[in-house]
Structure 1
């Protein structure tokens, strides 16, 4: 392990024990409960210890559905990682996470991170920076009552957003953020749907109980799995805003063909209507008289013509 060179920096809160080795090559020996890892990326720059992700792994492979579900619950094992991530994103200057995520997405000409890997390959996504757009159907405030968390991280509350994106197939993603914009109200239910975007770091798949469960302690209470993202830079936006990410190089030819078709259809229809209303002069002379004949136009009787 002495030759191991991680990408980033190692950190530790340690106690000095002694000097070891020969006088010419003395080595300081410290004792620490754990060694932290600041990755060489934005998350590391914000001071987050990526070794905390290891605490999210189960001690053994779950052998039953109940054990797998219990592993996804947020518990003591997730506590340090959760609040450390929340504290890290609070340090980020406003807009930094969103701008960095958009720069990464620019190569794919998208404005929102695909969510399929977050649902299906969560272990490979830990600490990944994502940007999501969609409809929030539930936004709530969560108060933190632990004096330890309040003292160490300076966090006494946060907000949870249950977001449905275009590609989440009506499954929610959960985003926990330290603050909300002033124009985004709290709420939930059938009448609540706010179009929002947010940027953050993927933490894990977690299990939660959807709204409407009357007895959370009931064994029959349903649980749902969702990606858990710790983020910031929440913005409320109009649905038309999503058109900004459209690949117009692909859409424009189709729109042009559609426009040409409608122009041709309009010209054809007006020409047909005009042809119905217009009668040519040759057609007038050849057309029989309509209605009773006037006296002056009546032909002379044959016998009167002979007498003349």
Structure 2
């Protein structure tokens, strides 16, 4: 892994969570990163910016609103389901997404290669749903966007989506053992997401969503377990007890602390785990809600500020 560092101001316009997710890519400590540009991606940012000081973020709010409307209104029309028809539809919506203010901003704000591509999933039978994902790589390291789209389309049409998920794991440089564990979905065992987060037992569920709570209230003893470092990426579910993931996470942690306040880096790892925890438990028979902004502590709000603004809050300014 590279030991080089960089100036965090290079990512100052990105949301803080996106800056912390992608910075290790730029210094060679992660092969790639991605962010799902879901409803919550837009809604959480809009909620934070509108409630803090909307006059200071007028242009940013306008760009997010316009982009979110495009995402919500995007549609595809298929006469039949085949690789050819879905790939054609994917290429059309890809062009729509590329022209959005938000995807243009991501590409211009990240000093490497940023690809924004549609992502398709089966919803049962021949049902198809799709969204948007942004990938981040060092300059010159990105695969062709068309290759990602084609692999996704083939996986959906031929019902081999797990192969696409394995390919995605490789793009991110996740440990092979963790990818294998994520693919292991035996009906006799808990889902791999649940197995992953249950490897730690430090979360205080009663503090999730509590008014005025901090992420350190929710995860007070998080870093006392070395496996905490395995949660070095958003929505990455490491294999329980994986030493490779822990080592990779320590390397990412070290790289981030050369450019960001250590308190912010620690909060980022805590938020990664808390997000994984809530996602995993939303998949159980009991179900659960995905976290709205602020439900994982005040630091969850800071994560959706532009990095330059997040760095100015007292918690990180004094770190």
Structure-1-length-normalised TM-score? 0.23
Structure-2-length-normalised TM-score? 0.22
Indicate the structure with greater helix content.
Answer: 2
Report the structure number with the largest CA radius of gyration.
1
